[in-house]
Amino acid sequence: MGEPKTKEEYEKIVKECTQELKNSSINPQIFIKRANAYEQLENYEEAFKDVRNALSLDHNNKQYIEKAHQILKKSTDKVNSRTPTNIVRGLITDSCNDTEDIKKRVEAAERLAALTKDMAFAKITGQEGGIELIINALMNEVNKKDNQELRVRLRMALIAVLSKISGVKEYTTLILERINKTSISLLIDTADEKRAYLGMDLLKTLFNTAIDLPISKIRTLAQAREVSLNHLCNLLVQDVNSNIKVNSVHTIINIIVDKASAIAFTGTSGFVTLLGCAAEKDERIKPMVALAVSRIISHMNGEDKSIRESCENTISDWLNADKEVDKIKGLSALASIFQANVDVGKSILLSKGFLADIMDTIDFESEKFQTIFIDVLSQACADKACRESIAERCTGFLLKNLKLEHKNEIRTDSALVLTKLMFIRKEITEMLLKEDNLSDSFIDRVIDSKRDLNSRINAVEGLSYMTIFAQIKEKIANNDVFLKALTDLAKRENQPLQYGITTILSNITQYPRELTEEEQQLKKIKEFSKEESIIKDDVRDNAEYVVKRIEKVLKNNGILTLIALSKTESANANESLSQIFLNVVTEKKFRGQVVQQGGVKILFKLINSKNNTDKGKLNATQALAKIAITMDPRLAFKTTKATDLVRPLLVMCKNGSLLQQFEGLMALTNLGSIDDDLRSKILKENGIKTIETLQFTENVMVRRAATEALCNMMYEPEVYTSYLESPNKIKLLVALSDVEDFETRRAASGALAVLSQAEEITQHIKKVNYGYEVIKNLLEDKSEELQHRGAEITKNIILNSSKGDENLNRLKNMGCIKQLEVLTHSKNPAISRCAVEGLLCIRKNNLL
């Protein structure tokens, strides 16, 4: 039978093929036969779908690939309209067709790469068979030697397109199915750094998009992930660019995205390879290994038995090997594991015989081995149980190293570990403080900018422990070069480093803390029992020494250092940073310097940071409160709004210590005296209720400050009105106007003087049994301020009374009117004028 020529014959073939596909196993040749029939019927949409189905069953069939290009071209030629779909079809055809001119292919591929940055075009590219055609085009490029520059551009553009399509969830599986040893080598071309990065970015996007795939596709996902991880781990031991190795570890971290993938990876040789990279010379890789292990453990959600066993077995094998390179690898891996997860590292270090076996032979090991072992001990000291075990088994070795003058690295690193053991064994502390030049060696490391960063970080950490002692505080504060070196180091975005610097500065600027009664009793008991404290009383910890140290810190870029440290994401570092600012502004003369150099902005940042503790936020608020108490808020808070301080001050008034409550109220008093906007803000933040609550505290200073803050708020109409309607509030003010504390009496009577202009208030005062007695006491007081307030209240009661008012008789009988007459002769014109006005009102209206 000849070739069909009529439309009816081609339609018949379509029906026959469709039936055959339903009744028999799927065969790519049947799809191609039906595609040819559709092509003749000019139904290119269906024809292309059949070619795609055939390619999905036979990826590398050249005839099918040519047929796909042929149909795409006819489809594009048929429809002249420049729709997105037709544009994409044309670009796929031009870029993937091996017979096209290479320059034209590159132009098409690069244009397609630009278009697919838009998710809509990425979807169309996947829909139009771009995945199969692009991967096959990349495979065909393997042995091409001509026009290398253009072919490199072509490969990069095609990989970029695939990377964008990999972010479209419905096409994820198609790409996963094509990930194998051959394709992964093409995608990650280590001959060129940029191409390698492109391929790695594709994998990151692909596996992140593949989260929550249907169960039916899990096997495909697992196989693709295994191939990718094996390839990336192999790169870590190959002679490739170190930047590619670093990015390989970063890609591994991004590929392992859930519990299943984490558990699966820890049982592979790739995981062993990754651990071994902790011994790499490139300083960037070691922390990346620690980060990778940390992420893997976090994905396990507590079920980390497999990784514990894998790590322990691997490290034991390396340490028991004959070659030193393997032993070094084992210790380096353990150091990284401690950085990643202390509990996993602890399970290895404290396993039966681990430390004992190493200590049996440590004196015969190389200097390099000993140096890394000491680093492991330093990392392990983060855990209490590890510290105790190290103190028991390793102290002798570490103390012996202190005498090795010719091995400065080992000597200084050993000193660092010993600083972390100071609170375990007292003799360690005594030894370290006797070895005065040990702290000097730490200081020298910090100052030496040519040293590697890890060495300087370790020195900072050592000093963060040693600066609890007054003699070390003084030594550091008097070293201008060291303090300036901290500014440079603070700019490094390294959390352990930033935390160490904040701890040093916090220690040397810390004022002596007043002991509670319980703490004082405990101290006496210890002294009686001759139990010596590790930190002994030292005159250099007194306030006058602290002020001098702070002054030296500020003269040596102190505020700039604190500003640099404010970039940290460590909650502990931010808490220390807040404490340092509080230490600095405790002395009034330093507050202006903090304001001038941008400290206020940083304090607001610390208050609002998610990466700060509640204690840190309160300390930062207290620092701003101190500034607001002694400086004009309009000048102190130029770069920020003074109103932004109201809410944190009120939070501190609710949750802070007595001192913080007092200083918070003092700051609110100052803010409330400035303008209507600030008083309105206090009102909006429900501040009046908070302040009034603190009037009932037993602490005299807090009660006083609360009353003073309220006095300033009386000019706010809403507050004024609330007192008009509340006899109980007036009763409290009358009571506070008669307490022993002068400042409280002054504030409360001042509020009454303002309020008593309203008749309702004078009526409330009259109803207080002892009210007139309080007024008389004010009038008779030696203080002119209280006399003035008493005269103002008395005058207002008179002005708001009528003839025959029995309350006027009560005033007279109490002696208030007589005392008012006495005050007409006051040398203070405000008092005499007020008294005269009250008496004139009585006489003019014949009230008495």
DSSP string of 563-589? Answer: HHHTT---HHHHHHHHHHHHHHHHSGG
- In angstroms, rounded to a whole number, what is the distance separating the alpha carbons of residues 163 and 198? 8
- In angstroms, rounded to a whole number, what is the distance separating the alpha carbons of residues 560 and 546? 20
Lowest mean pLDDT among 54-63, 699-708, 740-749: 54-63
Residues 6+ apart with CB under 8 A from 809: 848
Q: Is the pLDDT of residue 80 over 60?
A: no
Q: Nearest CA to 617 among 666, 665, 654?
A: 654
Mean pLDDT of 729-753: 94
State the average pLDDT for the chain.
Answer: 87
Q: Tell me the per-residue pLDDT of 523-561, one tens digit each, with 9 for 90 and over.
A: 555 555 444 555 677 889 899 999 999 999 999 999 999
Q: Is the backbone of residue 58 left (phi > 0), alpha (psi -120 to 50) or beta? A: beta
Q: Is the pLDDT of residue 53 over 70?
A: yes
Confidence of residue 25 (pLDDT cuts 50, 70, 90): low
Contact present, 561 and 505 (Cβ < 8 Å): yes
Lowest mean pLDDT among 47-61, 417-431, 746-760: 47-61
pLDDT confidence of residue 732: 94
Confidence of residue 431 (pLDDT cuts 50, 70, 90): confident
pLDDT confidence of residue 523: 55
Confidence of residue 436 (pLDDT cuts 50, 70, 90): low
Q: How many CB atoms lie within 10 A of CB 378?
A: 22
Mean pLDDT of 832-837: 94
Mean pLDDT of 283-303: 86
Mean pLDDT of 292-296: 90
Q: Tell me the per-residue pLDDT of 792-809, one tens digit each, with 9 for 90 and over.
A: 999 999 988 887 777 788
Confidence of residue 285 (pLDDT cuts 50, 70, 90): confident
pLDDT confidence of residue 220: 87
- CATH 1.25.10.10 describes domain 436-515+535-631: yes
Q: Is the pLDDT of residue 323 over 70?
A: yes
The radius of gyration computed from the CA coordinates of the chain, to the nearest angstrom, equals 40
Which of 24-33, 79-88, 681-690 has the highest mean predicted lDDT (pLDDT)? Answer: 681-690
Confidence of residue 78 (pLDDT cuts 50, 70, 90): low
pLDDT confidence of residue 387: 92
Q: Tell me the per-residue pLDDT of 456-502, one tens digit each, with 9 for 90 and over.
A: 998 999 999 989 989 999 999 999 999 999 999 999 888 889 999 99
Distance from CA of residue 813 to its chain's centroid?
A: 69
- In angstroms, rounded to a whole number, what is the distance separating the alpha carbons of residues 76 and 58? 25
- In angstroms, rounded to a whole number, what is the distance separating the alpha carbons of residues 338 and 297? 12
pLDDT confidence of residue 129: 82
Mean pLDDT of 203-207: 91
User: What are the b/e assignments for 403-429, b being 16+ CB within 10 Å?
Assistant: eeeeeebbbbbbbbbbbbbbebbeebb
Confidence of residue 668 (pLDDT cuts 50, 70, 90): very high
Q: Is the pLDDT of residue 761 over 50?
A: yes
**Angle subtended at Cα 724 by Cα 720 and Cα 728, rounded to the nearest 5 degrees:** 110
% of the chain surpassing 90 pLDDT: 45
Mean pLDDT of 758-777: 90
Tokens of 27: 């065969």
Lowest mean pLDDT among 3-12, 239-248, 315-324, 348-357: 3-12
pLDDT confidence of residue 517: 60
pLDDT confidence of residue 818: 92
